[in-house]
Structure 1
């Protein structure tokens, strides 16, 4: 397994980002221009090519970053290798299905799963030649901090929502799988230093057990880790806790 580090939070370079595993490859790039989508498109294009090469070689790369938006690059890479969209198992305390039209905060990191499902392809998907993932091939795991527009969208969509304890092989959609973990899926009281902690979630060990069940299908094509915590001592503690619980 090749471990790829993308030390960014959206277009903010975070060279001090603590991650659970020593990377084999670190991807950085000068990000120019005034448009945030254009700024990250070149970076994500490089990540997509790295992911595609690993998948073609028969390995499942692990991509670590400071946000979840890098998932656009990882899914694009899997698509380039397989010729079609993978299914998605998305661990996250948040829905990540906001839009520019519905978000109250304007935070772009609340939109990546909605974008993977086909929202506003001109923002990133078209630049990455990324086809939308059908909603019925997406599973959202332990999404519990949802704004009203997200609840409305999910209720009307074909995205399946499950708790970590409910996730077994039968709940994993067909075909190659992109396994995404925003590590704030872990109960906020158990993981220090999270940027957006949410109470009432599973323990790190429970997440690790569920991840093992997904890996046990033998269909995971790529893995994304959203290391969504602060730098410094809290980040180091969180990375160590995750490393002890996850099977990578």
Structure 2
């Protein structure tokens, strides 16, 4: 298991010290020109290269959820077409047309299914993950457009206590804001109430125990300098140890 740190929130470079890991490798890239997805496409491509080069299942620790695109693209280059199990308090199911805020971090799960802006997929070779191979875990702060999408898609939407078994290799994505915000102050987009850290950890460990997790991403979606990394460290260390 190799640990890859991508210290970015979208196109902002973050300090390495705000992440609760000692990474074996750091992946970063200067933003390019153009619109947002053009600016970050090089970072996604660099991450896809790093994941593809790993011999075992990598753990990717980063500052937002959008880097999942590079992780899955890297797995696919290795011949792994994973199911996606996505722990997040939010849906991340918007397209540019459905989003009222335009926030790119609210779009990556939908993009993994082949919708939304195609720039990163074109740069990395990312192929769509079928909706029936996607599980959204504890998405509880959903916009109306996301609720509508879930109502007509094959994506499974479940609470932390009811994560289903999935066939084949798994990409396990955990945005730590899935934890009740009362337990993790400093989150960028806090949601409460929610499951405690132990419930999230136990659900994730059950998936890791299958031996079929091909990659793990831990999204540390908090503001820098507020001590949240220290509070999250026991959960992160337990997950990394189980991969």
What's the TM-score, normalizing by structure 2?
A: 0.94
Tell me if 1:26 matches 2:26. yes
Q: Partner residue of 2:9? A: 9
Residues 62 and 220 in structure 2, CA contact (< 8 A), matched pair in contact too? yes
Following superposition, the deviation at residue 229 of structure 1 comes to 0.4
- Residue 203 of structure 2 is aligned to residue 210 of structure 1: yes
Q: Shift of the alpha carbon at 1:236?
A: 3.1
Tell me how far apart the structure 1 counterparts of residues 233 and 140 of structure 2 sit (CA, whole Å).
25
- Deviation at residue 244 of structure 1 after TM alignment: 5.9
**Residue 223 to residue 12, structure 1, CA distance change in 2 (3 Å):** same
Shift of 1:200: 1.9
Q: In structure 1, how many angstroms separate the alpha carbons of the residues matched to 2:110 and 2:12?
A: 22
Q: 2:170 aligns with which of 143, 160, 177?
A: 177
2:64 pairs with one of 51, 62, 67: 67
Provide the secondary structure at the position in 2 that maps to 1:233: coil
**Secondary structure, in 3 states, of the residue corresponding to 1:63?**
strand
In 2, Cα distance between the equivalents of 1:245 and 1:71?
21
Q: CA deviation at 1:16?
A: 4.8
Runs of 4+ in 1 over 4 A off after TM superposition: none
- 5 Å-filtered alignment, 1:1-248, equals 1-16=1-16, 18-54=18-54, 57=55, 59-82=56-79, 85-120=81-116, 122-167=118-163, 171-243=164-236, 246-248=239-241
TM-score when normalising by structure 1: 0.92
The whole-number CA distance in structure 2 between the counterparts of 1:186 and 1:141 is: 11
The whole-number CA distance in structure 1 between the counterparts of 2:129 and 2:166 is 12
The CA deviation at 1:17 is 5.5
Which range is displaced more, 220-229 or 18-27? 18-27
Q: What stretches of structure 1 of length at least 5 have no aligned partner? A: none
**Gap runs ≥5 in structure 2:** none
- Residue by residue over 1:85-124, the C-alpha shift from the partner in whole angstroms, topping out at 9 and shown as x without a partner, is 3110000000000111111111110000000011035232
List per-residue Cα deviations over 1:193-230 (Å, max 9, x = no partner).
Answer: 10001112111111110111001111100011110001
Distance in structure 2 (CA, Å) of the matches to 1:30 and 1:163? 37
Q: Secondary structure of the equivalent of 2:215?
A: strand
- CA contact under 8 A between 2:64 and 2:221: conserved in structure 1? yes
